Amino acid sequence: MYLAQVSSKGQVVIPKPLRERWGISEGSTISFTEDAQGLHLTVQREATREDLLRSLQAGPGIAGYRGPARTSSEVRDALRSAFRRKKP
Ordered structural domains, the chain, with CATH: 1-45 (2.10.260.10), 49-86 (no CATH)
Q: For each successive 10 residues of the chain (88 residues), what is the average pLDDT?
A: 93 93 88 92 79 69 68 84 69
Tell me, what's the pLDDT at 85? 67
Tell me, what's the pLDDT at 12? 93
Q: Show the CA angle centred on residue 25, arms to residues 9 and 28, nearest 5°.
A: 70
pTM of the model: 0.49
